[in-house]
Amino acid sequence: MTHTLFSVSASRRAWLQSASLPTLARFLGGSGMAALAGCAGSQLPPARTRVLVVGGGFAGSTAAKYLRLFSGGRLDVTLVEPDAAFISCPMSNLVIGGHRQLADITRPYSTLAQRHGVRLVQDRVASIDSQRRLATLASGATIGYDKLVLAPGVELLLDTVEGLRAASADGRILQAWKAGAETLALRRQLEAMPDGGTFAITIPEAPYRCPPGPYERACQVASYFKAHKPRSKVLVLDANPDITSKGALFRQVWAEQYPGMVEYRAQHKATGVDARSLTVRFELQDDVQADVLNVLPAMRAGALAVASGLANANARWCGVDYLTFASTVAPDIHVLGDAIQVAPAMPKSGHMANGHAKVAAAAIVASLAGWDSNPEPMLTNTCYSFVDGRNVVHVASVHAYVAAEKTYKAVTGSGGLSAAPSQREGDYAWNWARTIWADTLG
């Protein structure tokens, strides 16, 4: 057996230092444990360092896969995720618009196990004991780890809008900002709405998950109304001073494809809702009543990150060292995806989360091998928005780590937007989705 990656004895020690018989026994299961007991000694296979990845979105799933790839299968990687399958947030607005089914944007987690040897645990991590390096699951089971990767996504701060938590719980006022059952529920509300009705979406102040997502959703709802309920209206009520992404393109689409149907209002910060009358109240402006109300509250890092004390930026987002995505609070915990405090011009997107995961996976493998982490990591982002069933606009960017400022900066001269919506980009957008799902999971 050759050890191309870890031929240096110091490196090998680093890999082995945390290994133990119980580690292997846990990995092998009960029968393996008995076998090990009778077979202890020099015949033991090389022990593995255990990496626990929490959260199976774009960030966590990519991290699990690339930790295996970058280590040549040497790391013992466990992914804990409560959902049975991966449902993509990107492309989920197409389900709301009626152009795609939920099955089209759903992929199994099983490929991570079958093709990459990731151990999958369908459960929720309830708490982290970073001193003992132990995660406790909702089921009560515990998982020990040597390295921890947290990709908890975002928590919607329902209580920042008075009445929203109850209205959301009883299904009257939905968010559908995590794709799945709620995506379908919002679709059903639109289908049940009579022609001549109003759909209103409220947008929180940036930063929030998926900057262009709410405006794409407005396009998708308008596309459905145009075909099936042409007397209806779409109101976009934005807490921000202007459209936060692809502004000129969305305005052009609303003016040319949906004239008189989509109305955009800036500086509308939602403060409360009345579930019975489907009315939303604002900090300054007049109340708005709608037939279908989609209220997106402010967001912060997923609850586990907050409970673990990692959300040190405005008590909302997790500060990380951008070279490794190690938490600035707990350097042995890596935080990825929408939960992190982003550098300027870094959107909270699935594509960026996929990129965070690769930088972190490489940094973890380098650190375990005794190598310096890459001083020049790169991130890319391509974000497509469907303005109807076929036509798409994009924003793209390339981000390079700038050592002097310890942050990522968009590379000067790179990146940009579509000139106009096109079907050609629609083809590329769906291709992007299929490919990034496969890169993340397959």
Partner 1 sequence: MRFCHITLAGWLPLLLVLPSAAAPADAAALRTEALAATCAACHGTAGAPLPQASVPGLAGLPRHYLVEQMAAFKAGRREATVMHQLAKGYSDAQIEQLAGYFAALPR
Subset of residues 374 to 433 that bind partner 1, contact rule: CB under 8 A:
374, 376-380, 382, 394, 396-400, 411, 413-416, 418, 422, 424-425, 427-428, 431-432
Residue 152: CB minimum distance to partner 1, A: 21
CA atoms within 13 A on the CB side of 341: 19
369 near partner 1, judged by CB under 8 A: yes
Our CB check for partner 1 shows the closer of 233 and 399 to be 399
131 near partner 1, judged by CB under 8 A: no
3-state secondary structure (DSSP) of residue 240: coil
Residue 171: CB minimum distance to partner 1, A: 34
Beta strands, E only, 59-180: 76-80, 85-87, 106-108, 119-121, 125-129, 134-137, 142-144, 147-150, 154-156
Among residues 10, 38, 131, 315, which is the contact residue for partner 1, using CB under 8 A?
Answer: 38
Calpha distance 387→203 (Å, rounded): 18
Residue 117: CB minimum distance to partner 1, A: 4
**Residue indicated by tokens 């959301």:** 168
Calpha distance 430→88 (Å, rounded): 12
108 near partner 1, judged by CB under 8 A: no
Calpha distance 223→97 (Å, rounded): 7
Our CB check for partner 1 shows the closer of 31 and 131 to be 31
Helices (H), 280-349: 303-307
351 near partner 1, judged by CB under 8 A: yes
Our CB check for partner 1 shows the closer of 273 and 395 to be 395
Among residues 93, 308, 324, 354, which is the contact residue for partner 1, using CB under 8 A?
Answer: 354
325 near partner 1, judged by CB under 8 A: no
Calpha distance 430→198 (Å, rounded): 29
Do 409 and 400 contact (CB within 8 A), yes or no?
Answer: yes
**How many Cβ atoms are within 10 Å of 440's Cβ, its own excluded?**
27
**Residue indicated by tokens 């008189």:** 260
Among residues 35, 126, 185, 403, which is the contact residue for partner 1, using CB under 8 A?
Answer: 35
Helix (H) or strand (E) holding 66: helix 58-70
Among residues 20, 114, 139, 314, which is the contact residue for partner 1, using CB under 8 A?
Answer: 114
Residue 373: CB minimum distance to partner 1, A: 9
Residues in 70-99 that interact with partner 1 by CB under 8 A: 70-74
355 near partner 1, judged by CB under 8 A: yes
Among residues 1, 10, 43, 259, which is the contact residue for partner 1, using CB under 8 A?
Answer: 43
Which amino acid is residue 346, in one-letter code?
M
3-state secondary structure (DSSP) of residue 348: coil
39 near partner 1, judged by CB under 8 A: yes
Calpha distance 61→375 (Å, rounded): 24
Residue 436: CB minimum distance to partner 1, A: 4
3-state secondary structure (DSSP) of residue 187: helix
Residue 366: CB minimum distance to partner 1, A: 6
110 near partner 1, judged by CB under 8 A: no
Our CB check for partner 1 shows the closer of 175 and 382 to be 382
Among residues 105, 237, 358, 401, which is the contact residue for partner 1, using CB under 8 A?
Answer: 358
Closest alpha carbon to 186 in 218, 226, 229: 218
36 near partner 1, judged by CB under 8 A: yes
